[in-house]
Chains A and B, each alone.
Chain A
Amino acid sequence: MSVVVFYFLAFCIGASAVLSVTVRDVFHSAIWLTLTLLSIACLYFYLDAGFLGVIQILVYVGGIMTLFVFAIMLTARIGDRSIQQTNRQLWPGLLISAGAFTIMLKIILSGPWANLITLNPGIDLKVVGRALLTQYVLPFEFISIILLAALVGAIVIGKVKE
């Protein structure tokens, strides 16, 4: 039974991801992308990683997708149904993504996944907080600097020129 649930979720993720890059209407592809992200969150919940699933929905669906759709709505004429979905960089793009896919497949197939499966007793917030500020403090601070730079950049771009 649980295998059926897993394959159903995997099918949802794959199908909606393919549809989000192939449908012609920009708004439709945004909705398909939302479904992809939601199905990934469902997969996290199914794998007992509740915290990850919740953050996935909060950040990607509640934040990023909302801004995507907001941008689509604010851009004039982008909702036109006859927009071309491909440009001249179709073949180089395909080559690069095929290369990335092969590398990722190799890494996934070489990993000792069976040994990594342990029973997760539920995430303790204190453990997460401590880990972020001790073991992973460098990447944590690095990400916050990137976010700060992005914030300042957005303000500079968005400032009305006098």
Chain B
Amino acid sequence: MIGFVTSYIPLLLKGLAVLGFIALSAMFLIWLERKISAKIQNRLGPMMTGPHGAFQSVADTVKLLLKENIMPTGADTTIWWLAPFFVTVPAVVAFLCMPFGSHFIVHDLNVGILFICSITSISVIGVFMAGWGSNNKYSLLGGMRSAAQIVSYEVPLLLSVLVVIMESGTLSMQGIVRAQELGWFFLKPNVFIAFVIYLISATAETNRVPFDIPEAESELVAGYHTEYSGMKFAMFFVAEYTNLFIVSAVAATLFLGGWLGPFRPSMFWFLLKAYTIIAFLMWIRWTLPRVRMDQMMGFAWKFLVPVSLVNVLVTGWLLVVKG
């Protein structure tokens, strides 16, 4: 019995490390987003709590923990309660095969990249549950828009990931990183097109400007999480920023060589690349206006999907020609 228990201790420690990283990363990203938006809009941003407002997120977390949990009348109790978990848990599980460094990975599944793509697609159900369970028009509309958007942009996203899988010939995250030892994938022209398509689709998947239609605050209050307060709201918030980290870390792994890099430990390079992509996505968010719903869907189906299909075809042709 004791041997059985001790065999699970390393697993437990890895899980706790992932949870700790997610909490810290989400708090840091929220602070970073406020600072970057302030710089772009020529403001200072949070300055009062700690040096340059560094502890603002900590203060916000304490505030959210102490806030009352309000449930709307007529809400579908069970669905309403479960929705935040359906959104947060997949984001945590996706860290199972996130290659932080040459030895820092919880478990290198041989279907790693597909595992991350499939697990993160579960959170759509949570968004639906939040929209349906809240008994609120704005939530319902936000949930439906989110579903349409995520289903549409999942197609170009997976097709651009497919290009990388074809180039590397493996699904394992560590295998994809090792396949780039001779040269990062985004230096090849066909993979660079896939990289651009991936970034556009990832922006849409994480519901960020210019594709933040599900929670367009000027028309839908806050979209599917309008009715949530306190810690339940915080769970949606943490999930949002964790998903932002996941798409950026996957982009760094697939296109920018993951943890490969000279002189420094591998984890340093991985985090540097991932946070650079996050900063880039934040820059886009605070620079561009929101696009219209029908324009956005048309862009996905009439432009991104055909381009990525042709890209897959060209990649296959190139691979056959090269032998």
Contact = CB atoms under 8 A, between A and B. Distances in A.
Interface string B86-121: 000000000000000000000001110011011101
Nearest to B143: A73
Interface residues of B, number: 33
B76 A66 contact: no
A54 interface: yes
Given A50-B115, A79-B132, A125-B171, A38 B122 contact: yes
Interface string B161-196: 000010001110000000000000000000000000
A62 B148 contact: no
Given A66-B147, A73-B144, A126-B169, A61 B121 contact: yes
Majority DSSP secondary structure for residues of B touching A: helix
Contacts of B109: 50
A46 to B, nearest CB: 14
Nearest to A34: B125
A73 B128 contact: yes
A67 interface: yes
Given A27-B76, A54-B111, A67-B151, A62 B128 contact: no
Closest 10 CB pairs of A and B: A62-B121, A58-B118, A57-B118, A54-B114, A122-B110, A69-B128, A50-B111, A54-B118, A54-B111, A51-B111
14 contacts: A27-B76, A28-B79, A50-B111, A51-B114, A57-B121, A58-B121, A63-B121, A66-B121, A69-B128, A69-B147, A70-B147, A74-B144, A79-B132, A123-B110
Interface of A: 1, 25, 27-28, 31, 34, 38, 50-51, 54-55, 57-58, 61-63, 65-67, 69-70, 73-74, 79, 122-123, 125-126
